[in-house]
Structures are given as C-alpha cells and as structure tokens.
Amino acid sequence: MGTTFEGISRGLNEAIAHAKGKKVAVKTYTPEAVDVSALRQHMGMTQEQFAARFGFSVATLRHWERGDRSPHGASLVLLNVIKRAPDAVQAALN
C-alpha cells in the first residue's frame, strides 16, 4: 500500500509542478504540422474517401486543406501517425 501511495503522490506533485510551469521530468509530445492535402493526395484518396476512412468530416477536411483551420489535438496526432505509418493505421481500422 505504501509504494502505491508514494507513486500516486509523486505523480500528482509532478502534475502540479508541470501545471505551474516548473520543469519536471515529464516528456511531452508536440505533434508537427501536417500538410493534409499533400498527405491525402500521396495516399491517392479523394477528400470523401480520406474523410470517411479516418473519421473526419469532409467539411473539416476541406477547411484544413484550404488553410481556414488547422488540425489540433487528437486529429493532429492521428494525421501524424497516418503520415508516418499509413499501413499500420489502415490495418488497425480493418
């Protein structure tokens, strides 16, 4: 019970320090921007096919490609994974 509490306590203290902007031993991931249009075209898909395959709305995809909006959060992470390992993503979705 002691080690479990210590681990939880340490994690909470690290999270609080991180939230306050203090440097802690936390590795964060910042996904890089993705040229969505180039990625889709490289995969040989239409906007409709790409959106349907990966769970984006066509309207959102069009906004990204026009530059009206930029993907962020989980969408940006997924686009980075699609860019780096498209076959793995495709296999996971089958």
Q: How many residues in the chain?
A: 94
Q: What is the pTM of this model?
A: 0.71
Same domain, 16 and 50: no
Domain with 52, as residue range(s), is 36-93
Closest by Cα among 14, 25, 86 to 54: 86
* pLDDT score for 28: 76
DSSP codes, 63-82: HHHHTSS---HHHHHHHHHH
Same domain, 58 and 22: no
Split the chain (94 residues) into runs of 10 and give each run's mean pLDDT: 80 85 76 97 98 97 97 96 95 92
* pLDDT score for 3: 79
- Percent of the chain that is helix, strand, coil (3-state, to 5): 65, 0, 35
Helix 86-93 vs helix 73-84: angle between axes, to the nearest 10 degrees?
110
Same domain, 14 and 47: no
* pLDDT score for 26: 61
* pLDDT score for 16: 87
Same domain, 51 and 88: yes
